[in-house]
Amino acid sequence: MGTSPEVARAGTGDGGTLTIRESDVAFGDAISRVYERHLVPLLFEPYARDMSRRVASRAPKRVLELAAGTGVVTRAMVSALTPDTIIVATDLNDTMLAQAERVGTARPVQWQQADAMQLPFADASFEAVVCQFGVMFFPDKPKAFTETHRVLEEKGTFLFSVWDRVETNELVVTVREALAAIFPEDAPRFMSRAPHAYFDVDVIANDLARAGFENAPNIEGVVLQSRASSAAEAALALVQGTPMRNEIEARDASRLGPATDAVAEAIVRRYGAGVVETSMRAYVVEVGE
């Protein structure tokens, strides 16, 4: 996923607001490797399969993906769409795109660095625009949606997903509580500031309308299962495979390992010492002209 280096205001889910920090959109080499190996199977693969099925039902021939990250949805779409479908997968973060290219796809796609708020494509270039768990990071969502509307052809479809509030995602709550105990004076709040900050369906619908989408969006709450082979793997994914790592290292880099271990212990207390399985909840939004 990627976004503009600007920062934005985000809801916290508790009635307040937090400012997304530059560190929240910094996915360096260390994070991108853990992200792809551990976080993708934990959180993103189940939703990528769901998203690719939705895209395939529309049978588009030209698809643009925004905030593609390390390519989990890209790979799913390659499998779900016909071989002649053109897929352009973009992200602002070149480190994430490089990781996606290293993993590769079953057939060629076009990887391209691009800012979702200033897309380098002509009007009406795509039949579908897809974005999985990237919209939350866009500093100016109506502006990004306006760009999406511009590059969609008439009767095109925009599909994207956002996480529901933190409290509906039990594993994330466990991580948040464990880190709050470790850093009682200044707990890391990345999850509230960014991934779980854009869940108000009325706000989403209004932002889409402001961007020029005249039809009301279909917004569906989707609950899927998250799975990790162990608490240690889940902790590594969430603490070191997200920009939460940047928050912890900014406080004291030597505490990254102990913080990860403490989160793993909290997960064991909640889920046991074996395989970790729990539900996660997101919204999938579909809107077209």
**Rounded Cα distance, 113 and 89, in Å:** 8
Residue 56, domain CATH = 3.40.50.150
Answer yes or no: is 260 within a domain.
no
User: Which residue segment(s) compose the domain that 95 sits in?
Assistant: 9-165+189-223+283-288
Q: Which residue has the higher pLDDT, 171 or 186?
A: 171
Average pLDDT over residues 71-82: 98
pTM of the model: 0.91
Q: So what's the pLDDT on residue 6?
A: 33
Q: Is the pLDDT of residue 2 over 50?
A: no
> Tens of pLDDT along 77-109?
999 999 999 999 999 999 999 999 999 999 999
Let me know if residue 98 belongs to a domain: yes
Rounded to whole angstroms, how far apart are CA atoms 127 and 116? Answer: 17
Q: Is residue 196 within 8 Å of 12, Cβ to Cβ?
A: no
Q: What's the angle, vertex CA 66, arms to CA 144 and CA 127, rounded to 5?
A: 90
- Which of the four pLDDT bands, split at 50, 70 and 90, describes residue 244? very high
In a domain, 180, yes or no: no
Q: Which long-range contacts (CB under 8 A, 24 or more apart) does 22-25 make?
A: 23/243, 23/246, 23/247, 23/250, 24/137, 24/190, 24/193, 24/194, 24/243, 24/246, 25/93, 25/137, 25/194, 25/243
Q: Binning pLDDT at 50, 70 and 90, where does residue 215 land?
A: very high
Give the residue-averaged pLDDT of 46-60: 97
Mean pLDDT, residues 190-214 taken together: 95
Say whether pLDDT at 265 is over 60: yes
pLDDT at residue 26 tops 70: no
Distance in angstroms (rounded) separating the CA atoms of residues 235 and 261: 7
Statement: residue 183 has pLDDT above 80: yes
Residue range 226-236: average pLDDT? Answer: 97
Q: Is residue 59 in a domain?
A: yes
Give me the pLDDT at residue 268, please.
97
* pLDDT confidence of residue 1: 45
Does 18 fall in a domain? yes
Token couple for 92: 């602002």
- The 3-class secondary structure across 173-189, one letter per residue, is HHHHHHHHHHCCCCCCC
Residue 249, in any domain of the structure: no
- Determine the pLDDT at residue 3: 38
Instruction: Tell me, yes or no, whether 178 lies in a domain.
Output: no
Q: Is 50 exceeded by the pLDDT of residue 275?
A: yes
**Average pLDDT for the chain:** 91
* 234: in domain: no
Bridge partners, residue 86, by sequence: 62
Q: What is the pLDDT of residues 114-160, one digit of tens each?
A: 999 999 999 999 999 999 999 999 999 999 999 999 999 999 999 99
What is the mean pLDDT of the segment spanning 1-12? 38
How many domains does the structure of the chain reveal? Answer: 1
In the predicted structure, residue 43 carries a pLDDT above the cut 60? yes
Tokens of 280: 């996660």
At residue 10 the predicted structure's pLDDT band, cuts being 50, 70 and 90, is very low
Phi/psi for 148 (5° steps) reads -60, -45
